Structure formats: structure tokens, C-alpha cells
Amino acid sequence: MNEAPFTLLREMSVTVHDFLRLVPAAARAAMGDVPVATTKSGATIGDGVKQVEITLTEIPEKRIGSLQLPRIEAHFAFHGYSEMERTTFLERFDRVTQRGGG
């Protein structure tokens, strides 16, 4: 019997287009050479027993004074991952997708 996937919802300050552009490199960093399929609203990483499905939803931009930041909600569904594997995946995925200023 298949277990229910572990799910995680994140708010991210990025456009859907930019997130999807980063997914292949982030997937390689997190899982190595695995299949990556993207659509207009998300991505599927991996195949077989271990897979991550990401669904993206645009949400209202954040305004800080005159600064406007795009935002999305990224819903991750992990199939076949242990807690330690999810943690490792997210740490590696984050290194590629995080942006910073300075």
C-alpha cells in the first residue's frame, strides 16, 4: 500500500517563470541526474519510487515602500522520501533557488 506523500507549503519571493527556470539545476543539485518535467504551474522531479511534485500558485506581490516583490506559493509533495532525505533535498534545492541582495 502506498503511503500518503509528505507535503510542505512555502511562500517564495520569485515569479513562476523564474522558479521554473531554476528547477532543472536545483533538481540536479538535490537528486543528481533525474528526469524533470515542468508545466506552466509546476514541476515533477524524479520517477519511480522517489518523486517530488511541485505545484505553484501566484499570490499578491509584497510591497515594502516603493519596492514590489513577486510572490508564489510552492506546494511540495514528496513521494517515497524519508525525513532525512527530504531535509537533504530541501537544503540542496534551496542553495540553487534562494536569491539574496547585497
In a domain, 84, yes or no: yes
Q: Are strands 50-64 and 67-79 parallel, antiparallel or unpaired?
A: antiparallel
pTM for this one?
0.88
Q: Which residues contact 35 (CB under 8 A, 6 or more apart)?
A: 44, 45, 46, 47
Q: What is the mean pLDDT of residues 53-80?
A: 95
In a domain, 102, yes or no: no
For the chain, the domain total comes to 1
pLDDT digit string (tens) for 2-58?
Answer: 688 999 999 999 999 999 999 999 999 888 899 999 999 999 999 878 999 999 999
In a domain, 29, yes or no: yes
Identify the CATH number of the domain in which residue 13 sits: 3.30.1370.80
